Amino acid sequence: MTQLFKKICLFSTLVILIIAMYGCQPKTETPIETHPYAGTYALLSKTVDGFDMTDQYVYAILELTSDNQATMSEVDLYGLSEQKGSYSYTETAITITIGLRQFVFGYDLNDQTLSYQGRISRKEVTMRYQKVMNFTKPNTSGGKAFTEQLFGESLDENFYNYAPAILMEGNDTMHVWFCGNGVSGNVTDYIVYRKGKLQGDGTWVFTDRELVLSSTQGTWDSRHVCDPTVIKGTFKYKGIDYGYLMSYLGCVTNDSSRNEVGIALAQSIEGPWVKVDEINPIANYYTSDEYVDDRWTWGYGQPSLVSVDESGKVILFYTKGVVSGTYQYAELWDLSNLDNPVKLDETQITNAGVVNASGGADVINNADFAYDPFSKRLYIIKEDFPYATGGGTDWLTGANTVMYLNLNPEEAFPMQTLFSGEPLRWQVVKSIGTNETGHARVHNAGIVRNEYGWLMNPHQIPILYTKSDVSNDYPDWPLKGQWPALHTYRIYGYLIEL
């Protein structure tokens, strides 16, 4: 018993010495005094529900300070998102706490990367960051937030800006074509162009306005050109290769009647633009069976182009305002050789499921389209009938509604579903009007698309819309020579998160 007692005492003494030397506390995420993981981590990759979001960001970083503070920053075309919190760590994981939410990142010591997998806003998200030295944020010269008035002249002048067509080049360059006048106080529509550059703080700076397409006297578009839409592709005309196709509305009238649709080409995205005179107007109202000589009719116009094959095949959408009603039409064209253009198919777009902001039955009118190759959907934003009344401005809508069609994924290009005769029905996403924007009139909107008329992200529908004040806001307008409402038309952005 004596020897056993001595052995027990000796073992106990050793345990006490070990505890005294090394401690016996288990590893926890409680921060310790040294901070080996402090630093800046730049985004390597990010997916949301299987879609690769990495290229959507100008930059995305995690900043971990030596006093356990954490900042998650992301800059995309919608602005700067910055979330602040704290962090704790073990040898293999870092836990970032922002508000009530915790993000547990695994840590790889060899390549100094942080990896996250989990659900954020009900979507499955993966993120991977790598530690970087001397990270420098992009420069900024100050600009306009995506949801602010992006550009426009002083209201002391009589200029208007409306009906934007938007093409994103990369993640930081926005090309916008829109309808505007060339001389203050003169109501003659031109197609106007501005290029926007995204700044390091998430704001936009746009170039000065440039008139890039005008009417041609003695032709089908001699009075106005308006409502542009632009896509990238491969088009040959008179032996010359062009990389960009524009479609637009033209007319010879002064009363918004008998509109038609034409096309133009450019080798550079910024122009110059060449009208395809041999086939213009490509949608000819005067030679159609729907033309009526002795009645006012709106005609054909408000086109929207979507590429089928990223080359020469396109779908041309446009509105028909004819004696029998208002319709949306689509034509499938092969325009790869514009010396011999070929119309491959045509169809009237269904109004099944189409509603206005109040949920009442509606028709598609003044619409812009975008194809989503990830979800195989066709999205649309269209103006709502009936138009808003009161305020001395009764010719403009107060809201636009975004909807989509589920296309057949078995088609080689699912947009072919439109011409297949399959029954299709629109699903409503959201309406954007006065309540969402604060503007009295919200009209003539366009979807922010990539160079082929496709969505950039299946989880977001970004749009640019035209706002207008109402005449009642400015009782002395006539005394100052301004038009009622027209000179307040300015372009703003809005983002719908899906």
Interval 425-443: pLDDT, tens: 999 999 999 999 999 999 9
Question: According to the model, what pLDDT value does residue 479 have?
Answer: 66
Pair 211, 222: CB distance under 8 Å? no
- Classify the C-alpha dihedral 218-220-225-229 as positive or negative: negative
Average pLDDT, the chain: 91
Instruction: Give this prediction's pTM.
Output: 0.91
For the segment 208-224, the average pLDDT, to the nearest whole number, is: 97
**What ranges do the domains of the chain cover?**
39-132, 161-497
495 compared with 393, residue with greater pLDDT? 495
- CA–CA gap between residue 385 and residue 360 (Å, rounded): 9
Report which of residues 485 and 253 the model is more confident about: 253
Q: How confident is the model at residue 34 (pLDDT cuts 50, 70, 90)?
A: low
- Determine the residue type at 211: L
| Burial track 463-498 (b if 16+ CB lie within 10 A, e otherwise) | bbbbbbbbbeebeebeeeebebbbbbbbbbbbebee
Q: Mean pLDDT across the stretch 33-51?
A: 88
Does 48 have pLDDT greater than 80? yes
Q: Which of 99-113, 136-150, 444-458 has the highest mean pLDDT?
A: 444-458
* Cα 89 to Cα 29: distance, rounded to the nearest angstrom: 5
CATH assignment of 161-497, among 2.115.10.20, 3.40.50.2300, 1.10.10.10, 3.40.50.11030: 2.115.10.20
Q: Which CATH architecture has domain 39-132?
A: Beta Barrel (2.40)
Residue pair 444/383 in contact (Cβ under 8 Å)? The answer is yes
Structure confidence at residue 308 as a pLDDT band (50, 70, 90): very high
Per-residue model confidence as pLDDT tens digits over 464-479? 999 999 987 777 777 6
Residue 101 neighbours by CB distance under 10 Å = 11
- H-run or E-run covering 477: helix 477-480
Handedness of CA 142, 145, 146, 150 (dihedral sign): negative
What pLDDT, on a 0 to 100 scale, did the predictor assign at position 363? 97
Q: What is the rounded distance in angstroms from the CA atom of residue 256 to the CA atom of residue 233?
A: 31
pLDDT at res. 92: 85
pLDDT given at position 1: 44
* Mean pLDDT to the nearest integer, 288-314: 96
The distance of Cα 63 from the centroid of its chain, to the nearest Å, equals 29
Q: How far apart are CA 247 and CA 231, in angstroms?
A: 9
Cα dist from 16 to 19, 21, 24, whole Å: 5, 9, 10
CB atoms within 10 A of CB 298: 19
Look at residue 18 and tell me whether its pLDDT is greater than 80: no
Cα–Cα distance between 117 and 36 in angstroms, integer? Answer: 23
How large is the average pLDDT for residues 12-25? Answer: 41
pLDDT number for residue 27: 42
Q: pLDDT for 150-204, tens place per residue?
A: 999 998 889 999 999 999 999 999 999 999 999 999 999 999 999 999 999 999 9
- 35/30 Cα distance (integer angstroms): 12
DSSP assignment, residue 414? G
User: Do the domains 39-132 and 161-497 sit in the same CATH topology, yes or no?
Assistant: no
Quick check: helix, strand or coil at residue 324?
Answer: coil
Q: What is the pLDDT of residue 4?
A: 39
Dump pLDDT digits (tens) for 336-387.
Answer: 999 999 999 999 999 999 999 999 999 999 999 999 999 999 999 999 999 9
Picking from 163, 169, 260, 275, the residue whose alpha carbon sits closest to that of residue 212 is 275
Helices (H) and strands (E) in the chain, counts: 3, 29
